[in-house]
Amino acid sequence: MAVAVAAAAASIAPAAPEPGKQAPFRRVVIDAGHGGKDEGATAASGLLEKELVLDVSKRLAGLLKKQKLQVVLTRESDEFVPLEVRTSRANDARGDLFISIHANAATSRRARGIETYFVSLEASDAASRRVADRENEALGRSAAASPAVDPFLALLGDMISTDHMVDSNTFAKLAQAELADLDAASSRGVKQAPFVVLMGVQMPAALIEIGFLSNRDDAQSLARREHRQRIAEALERAVVAFGKRYDARRGIAAVSR
Ligand SMILES: [Zn+2]
pLDDT at 9 over 50: no
For residue 136, the CA-to-ligand 1 centroid distance in Å is 8
Give the residue from 104, 113, 111 showing the smallest Cα distance to 180.
113
For residue 198, the CA-to-ligand 1 centroid distance in Å is 13
Which residues have CB less than 5 Å away from ligand 1 (the ion)?
33, 40, 102, 135
**CA-CA distance, 203 to 201, in Å (whole number)?**
6
Confidence of residue 160 (pLDDT cuts 50, 70, 90): confident
On average, the pLDDT of the chain sits at 87
Domains and CATH numbers, the chain: 24-249 (3.40.630.40)
For residue 252, the CA-to-ligand 1 centroid distance in Å is 35
For residue 140, the CA-to-ligand 1 centroid distance in Å is 14
This model's pTM is above 0.85: yes
pLDDT digit string, tens, across residues 19-76: 556 789 999 999 999 999 999 999 999 999 999 999 999 999 999 999 999 999 999 9
pLDDT digit string, tens, across residues 119-141: 988 899 999 999 998 998 877 64
For residue 195, the CA-to-ligand 1 centroid distance in Å is 10
Angle at 239 between CA 236 and CA 240, to 5 degrees: 85
pLDDT digit string, tens, across residues 199-223: 889 999 999 999 999 999 999 999 9
For residue 245, the CA-to-ligand 1 centroid distance in Å is 28
Strand pairing class (187-193; 70-73): unpaired
pLDDT at 195 over 80: yes
For residue 224, the CA-to-ligand 1 centroid distance in Å is 19
**CA-CA distance, 230 to 241, in Å (whole number)?**
17
Dihedral (CA of 179, 66, 25, 197) sign: positive
